[in-house]
Structure 1
Amino acid sequence: MKANETKVEDFLSANKTQFVIPVYQRNYDWSTSQCKQLLDDILEVGTNKNMNAHFIGSIVYIHDDVYTAARIKELTVIDGQQRLTTLTLVYLVIYRLAKELNNEGLVAEISETYLINKFAPEEEKLKLRPTENNDKALKYLLRSDENEEFQDFSKLIDNFNYFKGRITEENYQFVLEGLSKLMFVEISLDREKDDPQRIFESLNSTGLDLSQADLIRNYILMGLNRTNQNKIYRNYWEIIERLAKDETSNVSRVSGFIRDYLTLENKKIPNKGKVYLEFKAKYPTTTIDELETNLAEIKTLVKYYNKLINPKKEIDKSIRLQLEYINRLEINVAFPFLMKVYDDYANSTIDKQTFIKVLDLIQSYTWRRFILGLPTNALNKIFMNLYDKVDTSNYLYSIQKSLLQRTGIQKFPKNAEVIDALKVKDVYNIKSKNRIYLLERLENFEHKELVAIEENPDITIEHTAVCRFIRDSSSSGQTSYADVGDSLNPSLF
């Protein structure tokens, strides 16, 4: 490992060099506030003649003596891509401004010094080579075609527009002066002599804001050569990242999915902050074939995780309804179990009706416990081991039996307990989605034409109807609830 203090402009102006952002790096995601802070620092040092230098952290890269066919040296950046990409955007804004001002000398200087390798073939021209979508965005910005609109989403576009609004004819000289004073610590790693993964972990422990999923992705891909990196990323990890995403909020759930997967595999629930360490212990560095075998199983289950967090992805209307109920009740603790049940349904180990009954059973169990106010922390261990109780020859019965045999804080509440609890439960002041769930299940019990209460603004709560349901059920001894004390066919209503 070699470490040196280096000027940013010297680093970026290196001849016939390309800074490659590998596929295992997280996406470029600097916010406007971070861009503002960097530009404020650049302007401050650029306007202050007494300041000779300003440090902006470190850039760590692997130098494997890899050269392209055109003899372009490739440096694989493993830390610092956010700053490196943002600085490239600043130079790009000045490049575009210089074109508007017809300053051909500055246009050529910025372009051929900091943005492109002038004599390289088209695919190797960019000095910074981001991941695929950002690469398209960078090339789009470099083309300077005002009539062309970028079709995809990239933070590069947003941040470029921010800098474009702040860097003007009046201050761009100060920006250039500030850029000339920026310094960072350049850390060069040799894969044969250094351990990039260990160094990366060390960087993370000192404040690099990475998720557990980021660390796992880097662990899987960093030790592979470029060809295998792309192969594993395209065939496995990219698919996992795409499917383990809450499509309503556009939030990645990869860390949560891997946590659920490890819970299923290890029969132990990892701490949220130690999912990476558990994954690393479960899958130590191995051959490419073993890696593909391990990732194949993970990729299979993520298809079902995708539908559990995005019920609308399920084509079957009846199954989708049950998934929506589970999603509304936030029965996330059951995901390790439900992923395997989903897999059994997909592989025809169980039929559709059995699958729906299992989904309904899980709702009944968790909802009844909620009405009684039983502790939710007991559910983690229950669902962690529940699939082990499945008898494929008598699938539903084996799950029912396992849940009904539980006692104490793990028990499956009986009808009488639930009805007594409902008499005093302040259901008007529980979470809105839980209240709607209760009323919707009551409204739709044994009805073929389902009513979506949440989607119908004309529906109001009729207090007397709910009270009458509870009163009549209690006094007459007849109820729509299945008698879970005497039957192995429990349902919610």
Structure 2
Amino acid sequence: MKATENDFGFMEQEAVIEIPFFQRAYVWEEEQWEQLFEDLKESFKNKKEHFLGSIVLKQLQTNIGEGTKRSLIDGQQRLSTFSILVKSLYDKLDDNYKPDYTKYLFKKPTMDKIPKIQHSKIDRASFEKILKAKNSEELSDSNKDDKLIECYQYFSKKIEQCEELKDFKSFLDFILCIKLWVTINLESTEDEQKIFDSINTTGLKLNATDIIKNALFAKAIALKTDYEELYKKYWEEIFESSKENKNFWEEELNTGRLKRTQSEIFLHAFAIIRGFFKPEDSLENLSKIYKEEIENYDVKKLESFLKQIKEYAIIYRNFPQIKHDTCLSFKNDEERLFHILKITDTNTIMPLILKLKYSFKDDTLKSCFFLLERFVLLCWLCRKGTKDYNILFAKTIKCIAENKDNPVELLKEQLSERIPKDEDIKECLVSLKDNSANYRAKLILFWIELYKRSQNKGQDIIELSYQYTLEHIMPRSWEGSWKNIAKDTEHAECLIYQIGNMTLLKGSLNSTIKNAPWKTKLNGDGSRKNSIKTCADLLITKEILDKKKWDEESIKERTKRLIKDIFEIWGEKI
């Protein structure tokens, strides 16, 4: 390995710089473009050096007369962005000056305008369009989501608008001649993966998926397989086949303290299912654990591994994507489970769900999903912590893998000790008072409503979105208008925080109505738009509209009915 401080002149010496076909797509955005531009402009103004980072290149074998050819191991985001800035400035030059700068951008013969940087498959066409275009206006009709072309248009516009860079030729000469880079050149025998992982600390850091992908296909290359075919069949087809697919796998989700992409969540789940990611392992080491797993794979084992990644990824990709406006029906078991998982923020269960979906179908799968739904919902309702869920679910996956004959009974056995007792459930439902009580009551009431709709043959609307407001019928500010119902604060709270005193409305009540006596709260006072009656489009709310009074007896009676509904839905049926 040889490291050298360099200006962009190092590009003159290279015949071709090839970005490996399996590297991630270009991902920089305006925040990074602006920072680069402003930093370089400031350096030009003050005639000071500026360090952009490292570029790692690995020597590739070439035929005699072809010149040097290197693989770009790290730094493609920086190098691509800087090259586009150079091209944007090159466009502004008089034709007489352009030949002096072609050597930085194009292969010989430069008149063919073949880019010296051969981009990865994902971005190659866009990068070639940029280098062959006379100016950014030529590409104004291109895909608006193409980040490389967007970068080109950004820099072209910036150069036009920047008063300080009217002498853009001097600016171009400056950024080409100052020592911006440390280039690290590896011999063909050196292990680029070690370098690749350790120095990736600037720009938009690679996520675990990027590093795992690089490791998988670096292994395929080392095994002298038809790696491009493997890549196309088992990776590109699933993760990169369309913009929609790429957006899905790159979507970031909040998982506890961290944000992780869908692809990272999936690859973590897959590693748990395969058994090489242990409960005690750290997520920060996910890519390292994958590398250790495949280190001694032969060709057959690697292809089998990739094939199974694809099979599980297809299942994961087709799981319900629950949004705030998703219409839900009680009859859709899978959507119901995934909605409950989303609201309860239960992420560690995903590997088990994937394993069950991969291994079983029809009534067996439906029964397994119901057991998981019941377990998650009732534990969350009774505030039983999620501690050691990862251990529990990993153990369950292993048991199912070893004994597929009766997964339903096996699942019941694994979960039974953690399921709350009936008495505990009832106790929770008459004392929904803590900080998360409203969330728990809302979820329970919403699914009771959908259950009732599914059972009511005369009900046309059986799908609803989760966009309702929880209302305490006897208000939490009870002292003003509800003193005749409660003896004291303790008695009042005993009534207010029962599930029977809560309902869902399609809109929020004004504070003057919210705390008003029952008849006013129910019917309104004539001056306010919202009342319980005007906001009642759910069965669980309509059933209280004929109540002439709302008192202790009404609350307790409704609590009993709702508890009965809960046990009818989530009782031990299987």
- The answer to whether residue 415 in structure 2 is matched with residue 416 in structure 1 is no
1:4 corresponds to: 4
Report Cα offsets for 1:119-141 as digits up to 9, x if no partner: 3797x911112223422222232
Name the counterpart of 2:292. 281
Structure of larger gyration radius: 2
Task: Report Cα offsets for 1:387-439 as digits up to 9, x if no partner.
Answer: 344454433233223322x1xxxx2013332121011113895575x554322
RMSD: 3.8
Rate the CA distance shift 1:430–1:235 in 2: closer, same or farther, 3 A. farther
Per-residue deviation, residues 269-318 of structure 1 (Å, max 9, x unmatched) = 2311111222222221433332111121122112222234636999x955
In the alignment, which residue of structure 2 is the partner of 1:25? 23
Cα distance in structure 1, aligned partners of 2:146 and 2:21: 16
Counterpart for residue 201 of structure 1: 197
SS in 2 for 1:445: helix
**Higher helix fraction: Structure 1 or Structure 2?**
1
AA paired with 1:489?
A: K
Q: How does 1:50-129 map to 2 (within 5 A)?
A: 51=48, 53-66=49-62, 71=66, 73-98=68-93, 103-110=94-101, 112-119=102-109, 125-129=114-118
Q: Given that residues 4 and 183 in structure 2 are in contact (C-alpha distance below 8 angstroms), is that contact kept between their aligned partners in structure 1?
A: yes
Aligned counterparts of 1:476 and 1:48: Cα–Cα separation in 2: 77
TM-score by length of 1: 0.81
CA contact (8 A) 2:208 2:287 kept: yes
1:216 maps to 2:221: no
Q: Does 1:187 align with 2:199?
A: no
Please tell me whether the aligned partners of residues 419 and 474 of structure 1 are also in contact (alpha carbons under 8 angstroms): no
8 Å Cα contact 2:22/2:120 also seen in 1:
no
CA distance in 2 between counterparts of 1:108 and 1:431 reads 70
TM-score by length of 2: 0.71
2:432 alignment counterpart: 425
Name the CA distance, whole Å, in 1 between partners of 2:103 and 2:562: 85
Whole-angstrom distance in 1 between the partners of 2:207 and 2:562: 53
Alpha-carbon spacing, 1:185–1:429, altered in 2? closer, same or farther (3 Å):
closer
Consecutive unaligned residues of structure 2, counting only runs of 5 or more, are: 253-260, 455-460, 469-505, 508-534, 545-551
Identity %: 20
**2:257 counterpart residue number:** none
Shift of 1:245: 6.8
1:230-379 mapped onto 2 (5 Å cutoff): 230-239=228-237, 241-242=239-240, 247=248, 250-251=251-252, 252-266=261-275, 268-269=278-279, 270-308=281-319, 310=321, 318-345=333-360, 350-351=361-362, 353-379=363-389
Number of residue-to-residue matches in the alignment: 465
Aligned residue for 1:479? 564
Other structure's SS at 1:24 match:
coil
Distance 1:477 1:162 in 2: 59
Map of 2:488 onto structure 1: none
Q: Secondary structure at the match of 2:43?
A: helix
* 2:406 is the counterpart of 1:397: no
String of CA shifts for 1:64-94, please: whole Å, max 9, x gaps: 22359x9364311011212211111111111
State the match for 1:383 in structure 2. Answer: 393
Instruction: Pick 1 or 2: higher relative contact order, CA cutoff 8 A, min separation 6.
Output: 1
Q: Deviations over 1:102-159 (max 9, x none)?
A: x11233433x22222243797x911112223422222232324746511262221222
Mapped contact 1:371–1:418 kept (Cα < 8 A): yes
List per-residue Cα deviations over 1:206-238 (Å, max 9, x = no partner): 998222222212222235169744233222233
Secondary structure of residue in 2 paired with 1:40: helix
Compared with structure 1, are the counterparts of its residues 248 and 55 closer, same or farther at alpha carbon in structure 2 (3 Å cutoff)?
closer
Q: d(CA) in 1 for partners of 2:562 and 2:98?
A: 86
Deviations, residues 432-462 of structure 1 (Å, cap 9, x unaligned): 5x55432221102243252414258566587
2:103 corresponds to which letter in structure 1?
T
Whole-Å separation in 1 of the counterparts to 2:166 and 2:110: 34
- What SS is found at the alignment partner of 1:300? helix
Aligned equivalents of 1:268 and 1:180: distance in 2?
A: 49
- Code of the residue aligned with 1:441 in structure 2: it is W
Q: 1:73 to 1:186 in 2, by over 3 A?
A: same
